[in-house]
Structure 1
Amino acid sequence: MLMMRYIKQRKMVEIRLFVMRKNNKNVMLIVFTLFFVFIYGVLISINYSFYKREIIDKEVNDLQTLISHSEQLLNKVGFNVLDKKHKDKNYLHKILAREANVNINSIAIIYSGKYIYSTLVGDEDRAFITPVNLGLNAKEKSNLSGRPVISFVAEVGNKTLLQVFFKKHDLTMVNKLGRAFYQIGDVKIGHNNKLIKLVNDDKVYVAKCDKYGFSLVIEYDRKTAFINFVKDSVFLLSFIFFLLFFIFFMLIKYNNVDYYVLKKALSKNEICPFIQPIVDQNKNVIGGEVLARWIKKNGEIISPLSFIPRLEKYSLIPSLTVNLLTQVFNSDLVKKSNDLILSFNLTEKCLHDEKVQQQCIKLSSRCQLILEFTESSEFENVQLTLETMQKLRAYGIQFALDDYGTGYSSLQYLNLYDFDSLKIDKSFVDTIESSELTLHIIESIVLLATKLNIKLIAEGVENIEQKETLQRLGVHKYQGFLFYKPESLDSFSMRI
């Protein structure tokens, strides 16, 4: 009855722990997902801002560069025009031919308020229909074409002006953000020099160039702009997405910092083997159970109850087992005698791990190695487990069933796996003085072990009365605080 009650309580604890781990995992997944979405959104927003800024700045800089180049060109041309007293008109055509790759359509000479020559129509003698100003000009209707035009005027001598007319301006790129146009004075000129009339002032974005007195105005369309941004940035957005997804995946899988802290602790041997001695009925130390203790550089000792579940979470238990086996193998302890009994706790996953098997085989050459399994859950691969146990038995390795009587199915385990030793769980030892039922259970265990020729070890012996009762019942090997607490390899080595 007591055993059944204990098993039921233990199962309830395991269920609660499972639910807690599951809930924590779900919470962590939600947190990381929200974090992923937030970061991706922030990066998209930043890139979107750069995208808009880059398009606008490029457009403004392109026109500014064109105007600056035209200004320098007109000042250079002006001296020759004056020297030739406006007679060598072919000179302007030569200049224009050299500037074919620049967005210049034509050059005109203005003298005493009249156009006297244009590279488009040749000699002419007409006064301004509308006056021109020095610097950048825009007209809704050109005198020649009747279409909107942008030009730049520079004074090159007394009463002499040169005017350069620009070709139709291409605003294809900036139109990706909405309807774009240049505002020069009161004139609004858009893509291909189309005149812009109605503008929704509530949605405009303005980039000004104070040096030449023009503004790039965008009637911003959020939907159009974002769609074009996605089209133009699909590779970058995909790269950012997969990079963030990879980081997100690693964070979910390893919880990042905690995982690498544990990995570092293993690599630095901060998690080291402690041994709790096992004694016979005369209190002679005959061996010990190897346990893990995490001792940080500052001397802080972290409880196994804290770090073992974390190692399990990140599938690092096999690494821990290999590490402990290796540290014991390299210690002076196992160089003293091959008769020393050392037991290690193993999980099914550890048993099937090649590195664990290799290290167990190595250590078995220096001591009597016992591998302990708990019966808290059924082995998933019975056949593979039996084959692995048989393989390791060939090297003299023995197997023990830990926490006997508290787990999955004690008799089924004994029937399947042919254990060499049984360890009576502390829960029975704790109640051995107060429960007649416990006495009967232990008597049954002793009888069964005797029939099957299985050695018995009692765990958690804490007082002399427990030891004497166990000895009277036929249990002659003990482990517990009555005799020794877990101790370092060096301390244990001094007892041998």
Structure 2
Amino acid sequence: MNIKYIKPLSIAISLLVFFTVFGTVFTIMYQNFIHTFLTEERRISLEELRVVKEEELAFKQQFSTLAIPDENQQQALTKIVAKHKCMSSIGVIHNNYFVYSTYGKRDRKVKKGLEPGFYIKQKSMLTSNPVIYYLLHLNDKTSIRIYFKPLTLEVLDRIGEGYINFGGIQLATNNKILKNKLNIVHSRFDLDNIVTGVNIDRVSVIKLFIKRKLGYICSLSIILLVSCYLLTKKIEREFIRYQIRHHRIKPYLQPIVDRDGHIIGAEILARWITNKGELVAPYLFIPYIEQEKLTPLLTCSLLDQIYNSNVLNNAKAFKLSFNLTELCLFEPKVYALSKRLAQHCRLVLEFTESTPFIRKDTPKKMQVYRQHGVEFAIDDYGTGFSAPHYLTEYKFDYLKIDKCFIDNLNDNKEKSTHLIESIVFLAKKLNLELVAEGIETDNQAAILKTLGIRYFQGFLFYKPMYLKAFSQLIAKSDKP
């Protein structure tokens, strides 16, 4: 895969993760939000209905001998109804006849043989709507029915049309029937079996949900966005690491020649080759590798690939230069590979201008490398972090003149010549070899030769080439 596709791909993967996780968490929060309404409504409803269950013993003790209630008993029943807001009325049944009701006197026959407990009567004689009541036997001849007021599902009605399922009947606010599957007039139910539900108004519930959970939603979004950003970076980094570890980034060698055009060495450059054989421009991945501190990994890969190639055959006098940063110098694997490679060629490690030296023990570490024949160069001198003070603090063997100074020989010859002359003078005083980079014209080469520069590198002589082409080239050329 080409690196230019990895960023869009990593972003796409991160966005997919974001929306998947956000959608999942949002859905769970949304369902829990609705469940909270259902649970709260069920709690309120059960509290109202359980009133009679909790006071059943008191009813039996107070009215155990009740038959046809006298005036005092009627007042007592009325007070009970007034005390409990959920009750609408209490009816007294004696010998299977309604003999009294706090709502109004009744005298009619009722159905025999009903067990004590909660019932739904499908049609009230007064309102033609269903009614909920509790049947309690006081003695062998007398029972009471405690009628409840119509349902007020205030909690559930905030998010739609709430209802309670009493087995085969679903009742909404004011005991409105939503569903009726019963064929009997009086349907008995158990409190533990009633279920709350709601026909959700999506717009209302989402508005309410967002209003109440906005803080959580915003926090979740921020956490996920940060996580997805880090995931994007992680995917990019791991992708690059994978490419480096599997040697998808290949060493390309640009020959370095002397004044007579003889090849005396080469600089190893990193070139990314895709699966389709396309060449990825270095500016697309080198800055990222340096930024993510993957340069040691890349340097190890290039050192390893060169070591296992046939370039080293009869290359004892060849100078092979590798770009690296200060960080690479302290990587044990870079040290081990450098020590091994230095046995087969003149190994030169070039410090790039893109990162500064920050460690105080760098000179000491360079000396450890020197014990194995490794030489050092400062790349692109005069640009980036390749400042003149490095020449006093660190020991180098080569100084490479950056292409920008060479290019100016065409447009601003006099000033550029003076500048290069000063670099040549400085190099001689410090006993440094000079290599001029980026030479593209005969005129540039001629001027540089007159200034005393011995080694050259650029498209005028050779372009960077893959290992096989370089091996074939040096096989044909004279030995340096």
Distance 1:246 1:386, change over 3 A: farther
How far the C-alpha of 1:278 sits from its partner, in A, is 0.6
How far the C-alpha of 1:384 sits from its partner, in A, is 1.7
Q: Give, in whole Å, the separation in 2 of the partners of 1:409 and 1:373.
A: 8
What is the aligned partner in structure 2 of residue 255 from structure 1? 233
1:449 to 2:394 alignment: no
Gaps of 5+ in 1: 1-27, 63-103, 107-117, 130-137, 149-158, 168-183, 231-236
Distance 1:256 1:486, change over 3 A: same
1:398 to 2:375 alignment: yes
Please state whether the residue corresponding to 1:411 is helix, strand or coil. Answer: coil
How far the C-alpha of 1:254 sits from its partner, in A, is 4.9
Distance 1:144 1:390, change over 3 A: farther
1:50 to 2:27 alignment: no
Distance 1:59 1:410, change over 3 A: closer
Please state whether the residue corresponding to 1:287 is helix, strand or coil. Answer: strand
Q: Which amino acid aligns with 2:291?
A: K
How far the C-alpha of 1:474 sits from its partner, in A, is 1.2
Q: 1:389 aligns with which of 366, 371, 387?
A: 366
> What does 1:137-286 align with in structure 2 at a 5 Å threshold?
140-141=88-89, 161-165=113-117, 185-186=130-131, 203=158, 205-208=160-163, 209=165, 211-215=168-172, 216=196, 245=223, 248-249=226-227, 251-252=229-230, 254-286=232-264
Distance 1:213 1:415, change over 3 A: closer
- The number of residues matched between the two structures is 370
Please state whether the residue corresponding to 1:431 is helix, strand or coil. Answer: helix
Q: Contact 1:271 / 1:294 at 8 angstroms: preserved in 2?
A: yes
How far the C-alpha of 1:196 sits from its partner, in A, is 7.3
Q: Give, in whole Å, the separation in 1 of the partners of 2:366 and 2:88.
A: 95
The superposition leaves residues 287-342 of structure 1 with CA deviations (integer Å, 9 ceiling, x where unpaired) of 10011111100122110011112223333222222211121122221244332211
Q: 1:475 aligns with which of 432, 445, 453?
A: 453
Q: Which amino acid aligns with 1:212?
A: I
What is the aligned partner in structure 2 of residue 431 from structure 1? 408
TM-score normalised over the length of structure 1: 0.60
Distance 1:56 1:142, change over 3 A: farther
Q: 1:346 aligns with which of 310, 324, 346?
A: 324
How far the C-alpha of 1:206 sits from its partner, in A, is 3.8
What is the aligned partner in structure 2 of residue 88 from structure 1? none
How far the C-alpha of 1:198 sits from its partner, in A, is 6.7
1:373 to 2:351 alignment: yes
Please state whether the residue corresponding to 1:460 is helix, strand or coil. Answer: coil
Q: Give, in whole Å, the separation in 1 of the partners of 2:235 and 2:354.
A: 30
Q: Give, in whole Å, the separation in 2 of the partners of 1:436 and 1:213.
A: 98
How far the C-alpha of 1:387 sits from its partner, in A, is 1.6
Distance 1:301 1:164, change over 3 A: farther
Q: 2:295 aligns with which of 310, 317, 336?
A: 317
Distance 1:205 1:396, change over 3 A: same
Q: Which amino acid aligns with 1:163?
A: E
Q: Which amino acid aligns with 2:369?
A: L
How far the C-alpha of 1:257 sits from its partner, in A, is 3.9
- What is the aligned-residue identity percentage? 33
Q: Contact 2:352 / 2:386 at 8 angstroms: preserved in 1?
A: no
How far the C-alpha of 1:441 sits from its partner, in A, is 2.4
How far the C-alpha of 1:409 sits from its partner, in A, is 6.3
Distance 1:163 1:489, change over 3 A: same
Q: Give, in whole Å, the separation in 1 of the partners of 2:159 and 2:439.
A: 84
